[in-house]
Chains A and B, each alone.
Chain A
């Protein structure tokens, strides 16, 4: 009973903070807003730790809080499933959220929307917790859309910036495309399993492994394949997988703290979490897993390429996030669910770190985000520098750091997987290692080392910050340093979260890989059909402890690829900056393709947005105004007189008479009254 109250406390404490800070944002002073929200999230974090220990002791909980709705034989409930997967997510979400809350005190210091911002990020924390703690699909969908809403509100936080309010609508709509698939998947689960409760649905699922349904023509489709692909389309929207990735780079229009919290560490990983949670369903369809692994591989490699040519510090990290989400998806496809969650966790720490460090740089640079205007910042911002280096090293998979353990496990798992598409995925994740190291250290060198390019003043950089300034107006938040002005280290509320995130970025992989990936940690939570998908089983045979894995890696291919990426980027950007420029000229076609992000945005704008507006105009002008009103209603006078002629012939005077007299009576009465006044 005590524990159940604690479960409730975890989401409700941040919700309380959000309500107080939100409803009274115009009345309360700033310190109240940040105190109440930080307290709420801190309570949630502490409670999560207690629950984590309780679950470690073997106390798994699955129960309902209240009945949301009943209809026919169906019952929809709001409830919690507290197991190791849930507690892992709870810890990640509440910890990163707490760091971001503290960081925000410094980052949003001068913003008039300070209280509103705290309200939003606490509301986000509540929504995300509802999502991960759910024990059923309905509540999952509730949390799913709620985090989407808060993401929408936060991307458009600076609501007078045209780019921001375009980006937030785009994010919401692209996510809705994913949700469109997701809700159909949920519908299939309900229609065939008769329940939206996880435990019951997972129990019934194996009975349907061989079931086929008739969807298109006479071909039989495996029910599980269709269901899983529909569900995965939802994950593609939220976790920004190609081709539904287009919203994530634009979401960088939001303030940096939420880029770290929502668009790197937590919300975008909801799709990964969802698929891992649904492992008993996905394991029943190798076709769906192949689909997953191919989509993930495309995202991992091709989004990484785009990171190379970005000049906006946040966009480099954003494309890196896309690529890493691709890695997690690849792991899911290879049935290495625990590895995907493991990478989700390590990534949450080091990517939140990188984003917050980028934000710290942005503060130091007075809101100039163009890395071409930086350089040599390590002297001025030592804490940001060191923590960024740690984050970057963790990201590229330096042995013994957290990212290494998770990424290397993904690569190995894919190597051992034999489902269709695994070969391509293996190539992608391997090539991705070089690409990741290259763009990460390109950014690192350009920002922290080399020539100091800031303070050069004038407007020449104003034309090219970000890469779609078409709509950018003069009064955005890019200011930049004045000539002669130096960057400065940020206050402690900003650097403290960097340090606190750097610690797990270093050690969590080493500590957690044994139990989480190869131990019993996810026993009974993640289900793998070892017979059909033996990759994890084989992987476990090769594992001889975290230390041995690190030592062994020093002679392995991924390590050399990462090293090569760092060295090449150092050579290109520190030693011979003429080389990348020459390459850019030599391969201008590819460069243009990258710069236009493979033309996804243009395609969507023309085909989907333009097409929808065109179709709307045609249906409205042609259908409603032209045909229905023009042809039918204009001829209706004739029709009405015709019909009334028929009714006159029919009616015998009795009933119609009564009704008609009353109508006329009321009519006359009303007209009289109106004319009197």
Chain B
């Protein structure tokens, strides 16, 4: 059983998603919803043993599955997770439940298709995190674009077609370069698509640089890093709440994960060579994007920009080549899944009632939604990196790691302590505090049980990870140590 956990984590949501389509085909929305929730829970249940049964001492791949897929090209159905990827399979499966619950009453049109899209995407994303074969990875990587594209394009806001197109264009552009890189590696390795083989493959510095740049473009678009980030705010603004949650909580992590699975181990020399570039782009994301977030009038855009700034910490952490940096970045990725997911859900809660995302349309929400205001405060503080919330842990580790790396890098990174607090709390002040601003706010009803449950669960996760992050980091140690050891050895022969 435990040998097929990864396959189950991938295929339960995908097949379940197809079943939801069938179940909802007769127009029976509640049946589709119920089944979707069951599938999501089942998907999460099979993911839990990955964490519980994970061997912390082993830095290599675990729960490995290997079968021939297309023998002619030596393409295999090869799955496995290490301390770097395992948490994301669990996180993704968990967020899927949140997403299905988030759309429960809100989505009234094409309910089955909506839920199916999310479930299928969840399975595909689990595939990305566990694929050890280049082609398998690429297929999952590309296929996951489609449901998200549809979610934005079908259930999105008024400008959804433009946003979906921009999203598709940006990411497709990146993927084509990724494909090129994979092809090159296939040829260089003498016909292997195994990512683990590629890790061991000696490559000249020149080739490494080209590979690195191809990966950089592919993954930077997904993260997204400055300057290829402009699709994200548009995509978020148009996406339905669930789409935003998945986009922020999981989809952004795919690019960052790619750096650790491809860029660093396959092109370690180029990674060192070009680390300055990535760090510069990361710091621009942290500082520049922070200022941009400050002046946003649309709450979703503001949180989208804050996501980019937070992801800047992730890429910054990776390229300092220290365990504090990489583990801090991984922690930041998981935490960002909880916190930004919750932030987008909070905005969705208000949007469902007032049908506006403009900060100016709110004010004094605390008067009518006190429970909501309290929870939103918690997530805002987590977004601003307050200790005892998960948002603090990753930033703290990356900043501390950065001080050792270079003092001025740390200064730039630490400036987010001020800017991040400024844009988050300024938004909170304008939206939540004050007198009731207009009749829309006056008519608001506080969150219902379903909304409270979703935010409550995310709040527990946020606090748990803030107060006791050890269970999250101890599973990473062995793999991160192995990765660092690997990256330290030159591949140039």
Q: Which A residues lie at the B interface, using CB under 8 A? A: 26, 66-72, 74, 138, 141-142, 144-146, 149, 152, 156, 159-160, 162, 165-166, 169, 172-173, 176-177, 179-180, 183-184, 186-188, 190-191, 213, 215, 612-613, 615-617, 619-620, 623-624, 628-629, 632-633, 636, 639-640, 643-644, 647, 650-651, 654-656, 658-659, 662-663, 666-667, 670, 673-674, 676-677
Contacts of A180 in B (CB 8 A): 414-415, 417-418
Closest 5 CB pairs of A and B: A187-B403, A72-B323, A616-B295, A191-B404, A616-B291
Q: How many residues of B contact A (CB 8 A)?
A: 90
Contacts of B399 in A (CB 8 A): 183-184, 187
Contacts of B397 in A (CB 8 A): 69, 71
Decide: B113 and A213 in contact? CB cutoff 8 A.
Answer: no
- Which residue of chain B is the closest to A137 with respect to CB atoms? B400
Contacts of A613 in B (CB 8 A): 294-295
Q: A72-B323, A160-B435, A662-B139 are in contact. List 19 more A-B contacts (CB 8 A).
A: A69-B469, A141-B387, A142-B387, A159-B434, A160-B433, A169-B429, A177-B418, A180-B415, A180-B417, A184-B414, A188-B407, A215-B407, A615-B291, A616-B293, A616-B294, A647-B176, A655-B135, A659-B135, A677-B112
Contacts of A636 in B (CB 8 A): 169, 173
Contacts of A169 in B (CB 8 A): 425-426, 429
A190 to B328, CA, bound (A): 15
Decide: A662 and B143 in contact? CB cutoff 8 A.
Answer: yes
Decide: A643 and B173 in contact? CB cutoff 8 A.
Answer: yes
- Known A180-B415, A215-B407, A677-B110; contact A146-B295, beta-carbon cutoff 8 A: no
Contacts of B258 in A (CB 8 A): none
- Which residue of chain B is the closest to A185 with respect to CB atoms? B403
Contacts of B490 in A (CB 8 A): none
- Which residue of chain A is the closest to B227 with respect to CB atoms? A628
Contacts of A666 in B (CB 8 A): 143, 146
Decide: B143 and A165 in contact? CB cutoff 8 A.
Answer: no
A620 to B400, CA, bound (A): 29
**Of A183, A654, A662, which contacts B396 at CB under 8 A?**
A183
Q: Does B105 reach chain A (CB closer than 8 Å)?
A: no
**Interface stretch (choices B79-87, B332-340, B470-478):** B470-478
* B330 to A: closest C-beta gap in Å: 10
Decide: B179 and A656 in contact? CB cutoff 8 A.
Answer: yes
Contacts of A656 in B (CB 8 A): 179
- Known A160-B364, A619-B288, A663-B142; contact A640-B417, beta-carbon cutoff 8 A: no
12 contacts between A and B (CB under 8 A): A69-B469, A72-B481, A145-B387, A169-B429, A173-B422, A183-B417, A213-B407, A613-B295, A616-B291, A640-B169, A655-B75, A674-B154
* B149 to A: closest C-beta gap in Å: 9
Q: Does B381 reach chain A (CB closer than 8 Å)?
A: yes
Q: Please, what's the 1-or-0 string for B339-381, where 1 marks a CB less than 8 Å from any CB in chain A?
A: 0000000000000000000000000101100100000000001
**Of B176, B179, B402, B421, which contacts A187 at CB under 8 A?**
B402
* B134 to A: closest C-beta gap in Å: 9
* A470 to B: closest C-beta gap in Å: 16
* B24 to A: closest C-beta gap in Å: 8
Decide: A71 and B324 in contact? CB cutoff 8 A.
Answer: yes
Pair count A-B, CB < 8 A: 204
Contacts of A67 in B (CB 8 A): 470
Q: Does B201 reach chain A (CB closer than 8 Å)?
A: no
Q: Does B41 reach chain A (CB closer than 8 Å)?
A: no
Contacts of B288 in A (CB 8 A): 619, 623
**Of B110, B139, B422, B481, which contacts A612 at CB under 8 A?**
B422
Q: Does B67 reach chain A (CB closer than 8 Å)?
A: no
- Known A169-B425, A633-B166; contact A647-B180, beta-carbon cutoff 8 A: yes
* B229 to A: closest C-beta gap in Å: 8
Contacts of B477 in A (CB 8 A): 70-71
* A429 to B: closest C-beta gap in Å: 32
Q: Please, what's the 1-or-0 string for B178-189, where 1 marks a CB less than 8 Å from any CB in chain A?
A: 011011001000
- Which residue of chain B is the closest to A138 with respect to CB atoms? B396
* B305 to A: closest C-beta gap in Å: 9
Contacts of A620 in B (CB 8 A): 291-292, 295-296
* A123 to B: closest C-beta gap in Å: 11
Residues 419-466 of B contacting A (Cβ, < 8 Å)? 419, 421-422, 425-426, 429, 432-435
- Which residue of chain A is the closest to B233 with respect to CB atoms? A624
Decide: A69 and B425 in contact? CB cutoff 8 A.
Answer: no
- Known A71-B328, A72-B322, A191-B404; contact A184-B469, beta-carbon cutoff 8 A: no
* B153 to A: closest C-beta gap in Å: 10
- Which residue of chain A is the closest to B400 with respect to CB atoms? A187
- Which residue of chain B is the closest to A633 with respect to CB atoms? B230
A177 to B117, CA, bound (A): 44
Decide: A173 and B183 in contact? CB cutoff 8 A.
Answer: no
Decide: B473 and A71 in contact? CB cutoff 8 A.
Answer: yes
A166 to B426, CA, bound (A): 9
**Of A177, A623, A655, which contacts B73 at CB under 8 A?**
A655
Contacts of B489 in A (CB 8 A): none
- Which residue of chain A is the closest to B73 with respect to CB atoms? A654
A180 to B287, CA, bound (A): 14
Contacts of A617 in B (CB 8 A): 295
**Of A26, A162, A673, which contacts B434 at CB under 8 A?**
A162
Decide: B21 and A673 in contact? CB cutoff 8 A.
Answer: yes
- Known A619-B288, A623-B288, A629-B230; contact A670-B147, beta-carbon cutoff 8 A: yes
Contacts of B70 in A (CB 8 A): 658
